[in-house]
């Protein structure tokens, strides 16, 4: 039983023969957490039902639905109200003002939106570090055709750091070294992403063009071929900047927690980021927009219907891709922004939009359905993001790679915050053992 005391500075826990006080931690926006860091010490030897518990008790929260793993100054989410802010700025305002992804990445990583001079300096760093070591060509050449781009990305990010051993030992407290490492990682992940695509489709690798900004350069490496340059339209560049901005950070989700957990062992930035890419690859996390597009295509090919999909979700045979979120119990603010942009994008590119129409039908039915209302299931960012990427020409198997490129900004910031947290310990959860009680070996039995 946990009761808040009058002063609301602590919680009282009654357990067995003991009553203990647990302090509260209060966040900027009034979020409250019960600090259980001393729980085991405070309950060491407590008597429960007549049994003494040596070592004390622990909390039990698989999936961490009720557990805070850190204090963070980077991103604020209020899922009940559908709010997302980076360093205090509302995501809708950042999107409306039209900040480019690199501005937003700098905000997330360094804490402030850049001045013109800071932007120019960082852009120079990105440009100077956009090439991979030429030996990395052998790495790409050694891969089997049609390899999963996320597996390639994860391996290549780690591999690229081997050519810059100094990066594997940067001091997160050294602003200059950290800024250089952040720029290298952001720049190289874009080059690797485009190279892995070219490799997968059997086209020659295109080197970055130092004249182009971050997003244009990426589109150039993805879509130009030696005998045909590619010119991205302003509409496509804007849409991709928006996509990257909306995915740049999302507090302690599965991949970010992975980055922080790996970093808590003092693993370097590149190894930690690479593990984040692996975590993001799962269909319940970064892969959901692929599932959404596949589902919408099935409807457009008349292999299923919108109503059939809703029925399957309600009977728990499937989880409707692109719906639901661990935090958002209202419309995901990113989904709202992307949906508006997709509408504009398809109009401006003169694309016919059967998938968008089907998605809107699905949303309309779901939002008025009792099951979805009761469970507070709304479209998440993935519901419309795949349609946006598809309209820009990004192939489905690159969707999660695009997400990883964006989230690199958040991972870099979160890794550094983890490393610089005073007194941070290696992350090491506990467990409740439910296996066999102690058994003895039958010494007569043969091996």
**Residues forming the active site:** 325, 382
Interface residue with ligand ACO among 285, 298, 329, 330 (CB under 6 A) is 285
Binding of residue 329 to ligand ACO (CB under 6 A) = no
Tell me whether residue 240 or residue 366 sits nearer to ligand ACO (CB atom). Answer: 366
Binding of residue 380 to ligand ACO (CB under 6 A) = yes
When CB distances to ligand ACO are compared, the closest residue is 324
Candidate segments 177-185, 193-201, 262-270, 317-325, binder of ligand ACO by CB under 6 A: 317-325
Binding of residue 249 to ligand ACO (CB under 6 A) = no
Q: How far is the CB of 322 from ligand ACO (least distance, A)?
A: 5
Binding of residue 382 to ligand ACO (CB under 6 A) = yes
Tell me whether residue 198 or residue 341 sits nearer to ligand ACO (CB atom). Answer: 341
Tell me whether residue 193 or residue 200 sits nearer to ligand ACO (CB atom). Answer: 193
Q: How far is the CB of 342 from ligand ACO (least distance, A)?
A: 16
Q: How far is the CB of 375 from ligand ACO (least distance, A)?
A: 4
Which residues does residue 72 pair with via DSSP β-bridges, in sequence order?
none
Evaluate the CA torsion angle 97, 98, 99, 101 in order and state its sign: positive
Candidate segments 51-59, 82-90, 311-319, 346-354, binder of ligand ACO by CB under 6 A: 311-319
Q: How far is the CB of 60 from ligand ACO (least distance, A)?
A: 16
Name which of residues 350 to 379 contact ligand ACO (CB under 6 A).
375, 377
Binding of residue 284 to ligand ACO (CB under 6 A) = yes
How many residues make contact with ligand ACO (CB under 6 A)? 18
Q: How far is the CB of 175 from ligand ACO (least distance, A)?
A: 31
Contact positions vs ligand ACO (CB under 6 A) = 284-285, 288, 313, 316, 319-326, 375, 377, 380-382
């Amino acid at each position: 039983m946990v009761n808040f005391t009058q002063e609301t500075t602590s919680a009282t826990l009654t357990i067995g023969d003991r009553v203990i006080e647990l302090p509260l931690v209060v966040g900027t926006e009034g979020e409250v957490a019960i600090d259980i860091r001393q729980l085991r010490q405070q309950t060491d030897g407590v008597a429960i039902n007549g049994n003494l518990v040596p070592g004390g008790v622990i909390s039990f929260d698989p999936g961490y639905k009720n557990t805070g793993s850190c204090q963070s100054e980077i991103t604020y989410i209020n899922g009940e109200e559908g709010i997302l802010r980076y360093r205090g700025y509302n995501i809708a305002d950042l999107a409306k003002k039209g900040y480019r992804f690199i501005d937003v990445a700098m905000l997330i990583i360094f804490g402030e939106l850049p001045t013109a001079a800071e932007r120019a300096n960082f852009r120079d760093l990105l440009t100077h570090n956009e090439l991979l070591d030429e030996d990395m060509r052998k790495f790409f050449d050694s891969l089997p055709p049609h390899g999963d781009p996320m597996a390639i990305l994860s391996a290549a990010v780690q591999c690229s750091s081997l050519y810059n051993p100094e990066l594997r030992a940067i001091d997160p407290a050294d602003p200059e070294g950290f800024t250089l490492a952040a720029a290298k990682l952001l720049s190289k992940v874009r080059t690797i992403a485009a190279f892995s695509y070219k490799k997968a489709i059997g086209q020659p690798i295109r080197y970055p063009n130092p004249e182009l900004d971050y997003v244009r350069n990426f589109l150039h490496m993805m879509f130009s071929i030696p005998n045909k340059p590619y010119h991205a339209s302003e509409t496509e560049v804007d849409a991709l900047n928006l996509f990257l901005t909306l995915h740049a950070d999302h507090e302690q989700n599965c991949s970010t927690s992975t980055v922080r957990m790996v970093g808590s062992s003092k693993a370097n930035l590149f190894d930690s980021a690479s593990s984040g890419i692996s975590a993001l690859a799962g269909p319940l996390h970064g892969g959901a927009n692929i599932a959404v597009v596949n589902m919408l295509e099935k409807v457009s090919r008349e292999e299923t219907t919108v109503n059939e999909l809703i029925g399957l979700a309600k009977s728990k045979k499937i989880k409707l891709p692109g719906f639901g979120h661990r935090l958002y119990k209202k419309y995901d603010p990113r989904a709202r922004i992307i949906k508006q942009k997709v509408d504009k994008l398809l109009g401006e590119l003169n694309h016919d939009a059967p998938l968008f129409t089907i998605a809107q039908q699905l949303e309309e039915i779901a939002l008025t359905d009792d099951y979805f209302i009761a469970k507070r299931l709304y479209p998440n960012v993935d519901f419309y993001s795949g349609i946006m990427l598809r309209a820009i020409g990004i192939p489905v198997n690159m969707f999660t790679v695009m997400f990883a490129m964006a989230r690199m900004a958040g991972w870099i910031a979160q890794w550094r915050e983890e490393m610089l947290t005073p007194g941070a310990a290696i992350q090491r959860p506990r467990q409740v053992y439910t296996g066999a009680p102690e058994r003895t070996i039958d010494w007569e039995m043969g091996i």
